[in-house]
Amino acid sequence: MSGTSFPNESEAYRHKRDELLEAEIALREQIESVAELRRGLPLGGEAENYQFLDENGPVSLEDLFGDHDTLIIYSYMFAEDSDPCPMCSAFMDSVVGQLHHIAQRVSFVVAARSSVPRIQKLVVPRGWGEIRWVSASENSYPVDYKSEMPNGAQVPMCNVFVKREGRIHHFWNAEMFFAQSEFHPRHIDMLWPLWHIFDITPEGRGEFIPGLKHS
């Protein structure tokens, strides 16, 4: 199908690889189709200008946009009475290396339910200082945007907000988390290169669970 072959491959390999190639191309087309649907979403509900906290004091949701009109907030599972989430930590490791690219187009912020001193104690030893972190310990953002359940349980969640005509609107939430399926939750896989790297290997993802870096 591609006209490509590699040394000493069998006809059986090439036949199956061409079948896989067709599926990979179809998947790429489906990914772009879904992305087009996502880009075409109308504005979501107007968002409250929440007050967060960072090491310098109060900071509003509007402030977090910086010079951009699009803001991504990842909610890290780290309540005041809980340990850091290993899976969220592995995701942070992947974000750090891409942050200077991300920041050219959008603002990226991580929010946690813990206090600022506790967040700083987590962030600094792990080399995550380039990421902007805020505390959502004193507002309703985690509950309103689904990173905290009514019983206080934390959920790893990603939300996108946009500014339009001086107002802040919600745009997207990784709400596949709330849709049960065979592959639940895997709701932020598309943001996370770790899993895509494993997916091209014969071992696949297996039962791998990331550990806490520098723990």
* Whether 14 and 115 share a structural domain: no
Residue 99: helix, strand or coil by DSSP? helix
Q: What is the pTM of this model?
A: 0.92
Query: In this structure, what CATH number is given to the domain that contains residue 106?
Result: 3.40.30.10
Give the model confidence (pLDDT) of 97-120 as tens digits. 999 999 999 999 999 999 999 999
- Give the tens place of pLDDT for each residue, 31-60: 999 999 999 999 999 999 999 999 999 999
Residue 209 is assigned to a structural domain of this protein: no
Q: Which helix or strand (DSSP H or E) is residue 21 part of? A: helix 11-39
Assigned domain for 32 exists? yes
- Same domain for 75 and 139, yes or no, is yes
Q: How many domains does the chain have?
A: 2
Residues 26 and 116 in one domain: no
Exposed/middle/buried for 57, CB within 10 Å: 0-12, 13-18, 19+?
exposed
Q: Determine the structural domain holding residue 84 and report its residue range.
A: 51-176
**Backbone φ, ψ for residue 38 (5° rounding):** -65, -45
Confidence class of residue 14 from pLDDT cuts 50, 70 and 90? Answer: very high
Percent of the chain predicted with pLDDT > 70: 98
- Give the pLDDT mean for 52-77: 97
Residues 25 and 124 in one domain: no
Q: What are phi and psi of 176, to 5 degrees?
A: -60, -25
215 has pLDDT over 70: no
176, 191, 206 - which closes a domain: 176
Q: Looking at residue 212, what is its pLDDT?
A: 75
pLDDT value at 210 more than 50: yes
Q: Which residues contact 192 (CB under 8 A, 6 or more apart)?
A: 90, 91, 94
* pLDDT value, residue 186: 87
The answer as to whether 212 is a domain residue is no
Mean per-residue pLDDT for 11-36?
Answer: 96
Q: What is the mean pLDDT of the chain?
A: 93
Q: Does residue 3 form part of some domain?
A: no
Segment 132-145 mean pLDDT: 97
Instruction: Report the distance separating Cα 69 and Cα 62, nearest Å.
Output: 10
